[in-house]
A = this chain, B = another copy of it.
Amino acid sequence: MLRLSRLTDYAVVALVRLGRAEAVETSPGIAAAIGLPEPTVAKVLKALACSGLVVSQRGAHGGYRLSRPLHAISVAEVILAIDGPIALASCVDGAAGCESQSLCPVAGRWDPVNDAIREALTGITLADMEEAAVPRAFRLPAELSAATAGE
C-alpha cells in the first residue's frame, strides 16, 4: 500500500497544531490537544527537533515552537525527519548490497521513480494540508461532493 509510518501522520498533525499556537507548547499539551498518547508525541517532537523543523526550549516553561512558518515546510521534509530518506525500494541509488546485482535487469533503476516522488512531495507544504483540513462537519455538502468527485 506504499505505506507511510503513522508517526509521520502524527508529526503533521503536531506541526499544524504548533503552527496555530502563539507561544511555545509542551509535548503533553500537544498530546492532549490532538488526542494521542504523550510519550509517542514526545518521540515525534524529538525527531522533528533533531531535524530542525521545530525548536525546543528546555527547562521550566519550555516547550516547542516551529522554526519556520507552515508554508515553508514541505511534506518531504517531515517524511525525511520521521521516516528517513524518501526512497521506494531497498535497492536504491548506489546501494551495493544487492547480491543478485549481476542478474537484476533493473539494478537500482527505481531512481527516476524516487526522484519523481521526491519532487511531488517537495511541492506540497504543510500550509496546503492545513488549508484542506477543515473538519468535515464544518464543510458544506457542495465542498464534500466536489472533493469526492476529484478522486
Contacts and interface: CB of A to CB of B under 8 A. Distances in A.
Nearest to A101: B136
Given A2-B88, A4-B88, A105 B9 contact: no
Interface residues on chain A, size class: 35 or more
Contacts of A3: 3, 88-90
Nearest to A129: B109
A26 B35 CA distance: 53
Nearest to A124: B113
A86 B1 CA distance: 5
A132 interface: yes
Contacts of A2: 2, 4, 79, 83, 86-88, 117
Interface in A1-17: 1-4, 6, 8-9, 12-13, 16-17
A147 interface: yes
Contacts of A102: 135, 137
Interface in A75-93: 75, 79, 83-91, 93
8 contacts: A2-B83, A3-B88, A6-B89, A9-B110, A34-B103, A75-B113, A102-B137, A107-B133
